[in-house]
Amino acid sequence: MNRAFSPLLHTVFVALLAVSTLASAAEEKKAVAKADPAKGETLYTNGDNARNIVACVSCHGAAGNSTITQNPRLAGQHEAYIAKQLMNFRTPERNNPVMSPLAKALSDEDIKNVAAYLATQAPKPGAAKNKDTIDLGKQIWRGGIAAKNVPACAGCHSPNGAGIPAQYPRLAGQHQDYTVAQLTNFRGGGRANSPQMVTIAERLSDKEIKAVADYIAGLK
């Protein structure tokens, strides 16, 4: 009896395996679907009233070039970094009264699309403003502070502040006020989504934070 039914069982097994393989391939294709920058631009510029999502442009400026110094410039930021931060805003590690509700209203696809759009935008240059601290900021950026075991910022964020895609964010031209706020939050525990930055910020004084933030604003 086993011999009589073995060809049939073999055929059924092969058919089931084929269906399973096709289903897996479909799921994989769906998971790696490419982001759509055009949809990201629409959401960034107009928001989505039906889901109570306000337009990102109202705070982060046209094409991600914020003119409000408390809000980050996002133009040209690495796609993976933007996506990670929006995901983090959904968690206690980066809870924010404005961004957290918005991030929770966005779908994963929305996040990918907006990140893809911003990554393709041209960032406008910033400028350092404090001549009295430019040397200190330059020293911290390029060489760190050996006595405090603070590594050079350039080691991770690159000498010109362009960052390293998918690992470390672009910082060149970022608003001084925003950078100061983030380093202070890392130091005080208000932002905990980067263990490396928490450790580094804990070793920086207010003067050092302001100096390096001002230097960063002038990087191009």
Tell me the binding residues: 56, 59-60, 99, 153, 156-157, 197
How many whole angstroms separate alpha carbon 207 and alpha carbon 212?
Answer: 9
Neighbouring CB atoms inside 10 A of 193's CB total 17
- What angle, 0 to 180 degrees and rounded to 10, lies between the N-to-C axes of helices 134-143 and 206-217? 90
User: Residue for token digits 């930055």?
Assistant: 197
DSSP track, 86-152: HHHTTSGGG--TTHHHHHHHS-HHHHHHHHHHHHTSPPPP-----TTTHHHHHHHHHH-BGGGTBPP
User: For residue 202, which phi and psi values (nearest 5 degrees)?
Assistant: -60, -20
User: Residue for token digits 């003119």?
Assistant: 67
Q: Give a three-class secondary structure readout of 32-92.
A: CCCCCHHHHHHHHHHCEHHHCECCCHHHHCHHHCCCCCCCCCCCCCCHHHHHHHHHHCCCH
Binding-site residues for heme c sit at 56, 59-60, 99, 153, 156-157, 197
